[in-house]
Structure 1
């Protein structure tokens, strides 16, 4: 009796220890998940807090009088006068009407600091496009200077260093009260390419460059990856050569992306002489990087098709090629598409391989073809994040939000396709 009691006690103590271990293990798992979610929330909060103002622009609206006398432009159709005219003068005259007490060169220089350096160019473009504007008064809206933009958006944030003088800050606040300086949706951010001035910098060029690069990557990597997966899974003999190929495909999926950039630099640019900083070369490099992912996911999708499908097709006289193309491939396609979309999302966020092939160049114009100079969103973010101007740091965070929107959308599409098209056997 004593023996059986002690044995039962030993079993109970053992069960208690096992349950305690299970509870600790469950607590470790919950803690790890909580830490991961916390880190994710902190990351997104930091990005959104810094980047949401990038979707706003600060503008200055002025009543501009196109006075030929102060602009030294008597004939707006004369190329020589157009070239030598003073397009800043009407803007300064409009600002002086707001602050008549300002005088002297130092005062005018401080007042000029409220305007964006591109404002005079916009006045010139308006005169060139419509010479009849001379002698009239127009209500024009310009992007404010970067210093004014930072002051308007972050004047209550001590972490931002304000470069405006106290006098300029007072002028800015007065113009804000009069409605001359205002904030609105930053359409420039989505309609312009890169610029030396933060107020005129946008992501359109980078978005178009990313789309062109991804198009090349998808058009090459998907058919090649699917064809390779079909051959290795359905037709290739099981020998040392195919084993060697499979091992290397798995290894290539773990190779750092910068290695593919070095490979692209050596082959496509140095050996074949292809131009730098074009979507075609970028797409070829990213194609090399995504091929292992697509091949591995496609092979997994092919393996998931039950053998009974193949046996039934062969039983009614279908050839091996007909079995693969008419039965196996349609059933495996959802898994192939899901893997390809995830691989493309990974390629969209890559920076290192594209830096090595010259896609880090300063590109102002929006690319209009696969052989036009271009950059991509991750590289544009890299360039802006390294800039000392606060306006570019703000736009880098806003561009990160745009990139994350694309990545989340692509992953959501992959999940939707998997749920929508998958079949349970």
Structure 2
């Protein structure tokens, strides 16, 4: 019998198949390269635009402190200089003077927050300074009275209609409170639902319909959860609009299907021999699940839960529907007070006309990306830790 290696019809087919395999490998590697290139370009563009926001211009100002300065700081500074100093700083100056009575009747030196136009000019961006103001800025810079310093305002203040005085602090606090509500609702309910459906529920038509609907809910647009939260939590139950409570409950609705599906997959991955061995030893179903199945499934459950919460943190559409896009300069004191979140704050800044908000938008994206990457790193860490433990 003639072997396949000597068959003249087999060798060309093998060579053609090998060439197709090589072409497929090249296409797959090219797709990976293009994806990485786009990701690197995106990160580079965000860093390029967002990094300048972490520096802010300050002007050294020597001002005689008097009752007039405490009542009207605009009248004490020179007219041209007052136009270079931020209105937010001048507006807050009387409060600083009242908090420091020892300054009265003395000449005090301040590092005043510069206006957004001065800041943008020093960074080489578009500005609206006049020629006279540019000459004055150059003169102040040459005398060492104009410096770029770390922009602590970006992390210590909330939103503001004055670009140089706007920050992420209130949005960060709102995000933390919202995610605490989301985590407190979605994780326990999602995990317990997954345990019941996978381990205890009978395999009948009702449970099959429930599982199909859960899988469908995990794939619907997030804005629909916002409409559901508006209809149920705000209009029906009367929950406070724009609060972390209603925002957290809305995101919990969105996170629940993902947590249930990922937890069911983690439970299903536990070998059936573990359950069979437990029954052979006379353990009850609950003891097997509590002491053996659940610990082995914990890495997968934690990973799915943390990733779903990270996804919820980056959502904007459902929170816009429940009112968390409003202008809120102050950080909320509780989950019942009005608040905003980082994605909504970034969305608001992206629509502002002033050029200074462009770099703040990019800087906010960098902060949000850092938080999301940190959450994913935490998920990987816990997964590896529990895998080694169990």
Note if contact 2:5-2:11 (Cα within 8 Å) is conserved in structure 1. Answer: no
Superposed CA RMSD in Å reads 1.8
1:181-205, CA deviations, whole angstroms, 9 ceiling, x for partnerless residues?
Answer: 1011111111111111111111011
Is contact 2:179–2:313 with CA below 8 Å preserved after alignment? yes
The answer to whether residue 143 in structure 2 is matched with residue 191 in structure 1 is no
Matched, 1:282 2:241: no
1:33 matched to 2:32: yes
Give the match for residue 341 of structure 1.
Answer: 306
- The answer to whether residue 77 in structure 2 is matched with residue 91 in structure 1 is yes
Among 91, 94, 99, the residue aligned to 1:121: 91
- Aligned residue-pair number: 390
**Bigger shift: residues 4-13 or 249-258:** 4-13
Deviation at 1:316, TM superposition (A): 2.4
Corresponding position of 1:236: 201
5 Å matches for 1:23-422?
A: 23-68=22-67, 71=68, 85-92=71-78, 108=79, 110-154=80-124, 160-422=125-387
Work out the CA distance in 2 between the residues paired with 1:417 and 1:310: 24
Q: Which moved more, 1:317-326 or 1:224-233?
A: 317-326
String of CA shifts for 1:87-131, please: whole Å, max 9, x gaps. Answer: 222332xxxxxxxxxxxxxxx3x4432111122222201222133
User: Which digits, 9 at most, give the CA deviation of each residue in 1:289-320, with x for residues without a partner?
Assistant: 00011101111111111222222222222211
Normalising by structure 2, we get a TM-score of 0.96
> In terms of Rg, which structure is larger?
1
Deviation of 1:23 after TM superposition, in Å, equals 0.9
SS in 1 for 2:62: strand
1:204 and 1:216 map into 2 onto residues whose CA distance is: 19
Superposed CA deviations along residues 311-346 of structure 1, whole A, max 9, x for unmatched, are 222222221111111221122111101100000010
- Structure-1 separation of matches of 2:5 and 2:103: 104
Task: Give the drift of 1:353.
Answer: 0.2
Unaligned runs of 5+ in 1: 74-81, 93-107, 155-159
* Structure 2, unpaired ranges of 5+: none
Kindly report structure 1 stretches of 4+ aligned residues shifted beyond 4 Å.
3-7
Checking the alignment, whether the CA contact within 8 Å between 1:67 and 1:90 is kept in structure 2 is no
Tell me if the contact between 1:335 and 1:422 (Cα under 8 Å) persists in the aligned partners. no
* Residue 15 (structure 1) aligns with: 14
Deviation at 1:403, TM superposition (A): 0.0
Distance 1:91 1:368 in 2: 37
